[in-house]
Amino acid sequence: MTNNAQWSSRLGFILASAGSAIGLGAIWKFPFWAGANGGAAFIIPYIVFTFTIGLALVMAEVAIGRRGRGSVVSAMRRVGGRWFGTLGALGVLTSFFILSYYSVVGGWCVAYLWDAIQGNVTINDANLLKSHFGHLVSTPELNVFWHFVFLTLTCGTVALGVESGIERLSKYLMPTLFILMLAIIVRGLTLPGAWAGVEYLFNFSWDKVTSNAILNAMGFTFFSLSLGAGILVTYGSYLSDKTDVPNASLWVAVLAIQAALLAGLMIMPAVFAFGLEPNGGPGLVFVTVPMIFSHIPFGGVFALLFYICLLVAALTSAVSLLEVVTAYLQNEWHLSRKVATIVNWVSLFLLGSVSALSFGPWSGFTVSGRNFFDLLDYICSNYMMPLGGFAVAILAGWVAWPMMRQQITAVKPYSEAALSLLRIMIAFLAPILVAVAIYQGLFGG
């Protein structure tokens, strides 16, 4: 079964792909990861990884998808043979696992949007906001309910057909999100003590450069670019043959980095201005942002608009993850889109509920100090996504390089030097760095 759907424009593909990165990586994850890993000691390796192996693997995934024209499994099988089709199933599994716990985070976005509608988020009391967030995540019925609501929104969107919907929403609401982030940054930087947050974020110190910081930067590169989860292979299968793959891929990388840095500037100055911990976890975005709104004229309106856009960003990411699994069930299991969505809805609700409960009644169940939510996040970010990227690198750099070269030069020619550098990046550098990152994660190197 070949998927004949296509993006109506190059911009639609870029914004939808960047929307996946923004929703998954930038806003709720980057600020506290950067803070916990020494600021610039994390940011610099992240940027280097993104513009080298990250960009090369984005091009590889998009090229495989456009050539294979199908789900990640069928596309990789068509390009590389049956064995690579099996490896493509790792991307499906990765997307499924990520969406199961990401839906819990999406539920928090829905909950805070509901609070914003009621005018209950513009509070200038850090302890009260921390207590409110703690109550949300630790109360079983609340956390599971909002997870249910977000997952239902995601599955409902996919069941109706998502290509044109994602593209249309991305074109209008992703730029709006950027504009609102800039407005919050400007206000946040004027708060007393805010500049200490900027210094913390960008000051560089060699003693902060650790193997753990580099490992986390590597994992975040895959997470923020949606690599190794089959998303870009799936989205690439919708890309027109008239689109230049390197140029479009570069824009995805640039926007992903831009969104991450803006998120850091939106959160970290406020963290220091209000005396919060810079490594306060994903809930940080749900504590500091409301405090900023309490200092902005018409803060309630800003809060409402922000959480609407945040929810849209979250939905864009969730839909992209669900589309990977749905396309697989349609292509390989021959299920209708509606039946495939129902299967996903039930299974994701059950698995996601375990993540939701891991902040409350099941918080005592930990593996290596991580609850179920954190454990899934750690495994997906540091092992499954890099392994998926490793498979793509071997396929594009070694097995199907002639195909890769043809896709890269399909619209306009590139020099032999540029193509050689790209192949070195995909075939040699990417597998080596991924292997090192995984080894460090396993053995604490």
User: Residue 373 and residue 356: Cα distance in Å, rounded?
Assistant: 7
The span from the CA of 150 to the CA of 147, in Å, is: 5
Task: Give the SS3 label for residue 226.
Answer: coil
**C-alpha angle 357/267/102, rounded to 5°?**
30
Place of tokens 């609340």: 142
Tokens of 215: 């490992």
Confidence (pTM): 0.89
| Count of other CB atoms within 10 angstroms of residue 82 | 8
Cβ-count burial 243-259 (b if 16+ within 10 Å, e if not): bebbebbbbbbebbbbb
**Contact call for residues 222 and 228 (beta carbons, < 8 A):** yes
DSSP H/E element including 72: helix 72-80
Query: What pLDDT does 80 receive?
Result: 95
Pairwise CA distance, residues 21 & 15, whole Å: 10
Q: What is the DSSP letter of 295?
A: T
Amino acid at 189: L
- Average pLDDT per 10 consecutive residues for the chain, totaling 445 residues: 66 82 72 84 93 93 94 95 94 96 94 92 84 93 97 88 68 81 88 90 85 80 85 91 94 91 88 77 76 83 84 86 93 91 97 95 90 91 85 96 96 94 94 77 59
Give the integer Cα–Cα distance in Å for 180 and 190: 16
Q: Indicate the angle between helix axes 285-293 and 126-138, nearest 10 degrees.
A: 140
How confident is the model at residue 371, as a pLDDT?
94
* Separation between Cα atoms, residue 197 and residue 87, nearest integer Å: 42
Which pLDDT score, from 0 to 100, does residue 404 have? 96
Sign of CA dihedral 147, 387, 434, 224: negative
In the structure, how many helices (H) and strands (E) does the chain have?
21, 0
Q: Which residue has the tokens 């890309």?
A: 239
What integer pLDDT is reported at residue 445 of this predicted model?
Answer: 44
Q: What is the DSSP letter of 237?
A: T
Q: At 376, list the tokens.
A: 């899934």
Q: What is the separation of C-alpha 179 from the centre of its chain, rounded to a whole number of angstroms?
A: 20
The pLDDT, as a whole number, for residue 346 is 98
Structure tokens at 441: 């994660």
